[in-house]
């Protein structure tokens, strides 16, 4: 359940969050989970991610007219806890001034709009930094911001699948990731970059602008492939094997991952399979030989795993050989590890609704524990509270 007190190693940090959709909010929810005071600034229409299903029961209706009133989809909830939401129309002069006053008292401001949008609103980094020279301004863009490097694609829109593809990830892995990795990883890097820049600003009194491009982030994931191509000039074959066994194998009730390229683990795997002869077999006695004969090697393992359940395989290999069942969400929720690590956390969905659950914070501190102190906010729920807290007055109140 949510706690009332915001705690964590970043509890002295205030962030004005203008991000929407997934990449930016993923980064700012990491910061919020670490204790930062994250103020989510939403336009009158709200973050469009609010309208993505599934919806709580009291919103569970269909049709364009009904959808217009949806304020609280679970996709939005997943990346916006521990934040407060305020509604400001940044095209309105009074709201724009209120936004600048927020920035005057903040450590950082972040956004993931297309290049030039904030500049056209009169809210560029240069404008904000004149009001607060210590401020750090972070941006997530598809292809970066001209301030850090002119890209021929700077003005192009970009979503996850485009970022995965352009950065080389799809060809390196053979397919699109099922999860939005070209949103998740840039958002994570943005959070890391922001903490680093604020750390410097606190020491020097000088803020700065930084950005993370989705293209750059996915490309940077391929560090080993980049180094290999730089040396050989040869494209990587997604079907090639360098570590064997290292992948998914069939069980009679699903799949299981087994990684035993290290000879000690390979020996233990062979013993568990009662196939000790494979330890010294010329085709399988070393990782290079197993890689050269990966079809044979993987077939021997598949023949063994496919006759057993995931649980039976884990009983034989768990704690000895690196392995893990390909768990369904039902199995993850029932796993004692998840409970022991507090990785499922409940909150009360606003309205006449049951409790919802969110994934817990995976960063665990001994001395500065984090908290789930604020459920995902309704649109503009904290406008008056935050403006009063920051000493900002407007002629009209929400």
Q: Hey, which residues are catalytic here?
A: 183
Rounded-to-integer distance, Cα 214 and Cα 192, Å: 15
Rounded-to-integer distance, Cα 327 and Cα 325, Å: 5
Q: CA geometry: angle at 391 spanning 387 and 397, to 5°?
A: 40
Q: CA geometry: angle at 289 spanning 285 and 291, to 5°?
A: 125
Rounded-to-integer distance, Cα 340 and Cα 60, Å: 33
Rounded-to-integer distance, Cα 200 and Cα 107, Å: 11
What does the DSSP assignment read for 117-138?
HHHHTT--HHHHHHH-TT-EEE
Identify whether the C-beta of residue 142 lies closer than 8 Å to the C-beta of residue 209: no
Strand, coil or helix: 340: helix
Q: CA geometry: angle at 282 spanning 276 and 283, to 5°?
A: 90
**Nearest 5°: phi and psi at 209?**
-100, 140
DSSP 152: T
């Amino acid at each position: 359940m949510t706690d009332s007190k915001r705690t964590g190693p970043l509890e002295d940090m205030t962030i004005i969050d203008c991000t929407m959709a997934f990449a930016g909010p993923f980064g700012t929810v990491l910061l919020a989970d670490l204790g930062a005071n994250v103020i989510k600034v939403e336009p009158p229409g709200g973050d469009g991610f609010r309208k993505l299903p599934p919806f709580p029961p009291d919103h569970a209706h269909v049709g364009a007219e009904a959808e217009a009133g949806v304020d609280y989809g679970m996709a939005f909830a997943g990346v916006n806890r521990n934040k407060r939401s305020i509604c400001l129309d940044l095209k309105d002069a009074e709201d724009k001034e209120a936004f600048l006053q927020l920035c005057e008292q903040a450590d950082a401001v972040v956004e993931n709009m297309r290049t030039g949008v904030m500049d056209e609103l009169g809210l560029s980094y240069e404008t904000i930094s004149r009001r607060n020279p210590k401020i750090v301004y972070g941006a997530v863009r598809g292809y970066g911001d001209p301030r850090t490097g002119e890209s021929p694609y700077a003005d192009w829109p970009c979503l996850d699948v485009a970022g995965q593809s352009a950065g080389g990830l799809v060809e390196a892995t053979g397919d699109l990731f099922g999860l939005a990795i070209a949103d998740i990883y840039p958002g994570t890097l943005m959070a890391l970059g922001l903490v680093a820049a604020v750390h410097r600003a606190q020491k020097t009194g000088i803020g700065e602008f930084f950005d993370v491009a989705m293209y750059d982030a996915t490309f940077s994931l391929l560090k080993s492939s980049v180094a290999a191509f730089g040396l050989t000039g040869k494209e990587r074959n997604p079907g090639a094997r360098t570590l064997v066994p290292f992948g998914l194998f069939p069980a009679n009730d699903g799949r299981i991952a087994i990684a035993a390229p290290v000879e000690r683990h390979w020996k233990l795997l062979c013993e568990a399979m009662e196939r000790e002869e494979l330890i010294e077999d010329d085709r399988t006695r070393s990782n290079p030989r197993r890689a050269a004969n990966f079809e044979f090697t993987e077939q021997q393992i598949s023949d063994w795993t496919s006759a057993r359940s995931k649980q039976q395989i884990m009983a034989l290999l768990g704690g000895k050989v690196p392995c893990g069942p390909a768990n369904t969400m039902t199995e993850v929720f029932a796993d004692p590890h998840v409970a022991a690590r507090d990785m499922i956390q409940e909150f009360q969905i606003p309205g006449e609704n049951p409790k919802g659950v969110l994934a817990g914070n995976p960063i665990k501190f001994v001395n500065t524990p984090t908290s789930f102190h604020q459920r995902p906010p309704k649109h503009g729920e904290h406008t008056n509270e935050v403006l009063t807290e920051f000493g900002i007055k407007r002629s009209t109140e929400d």
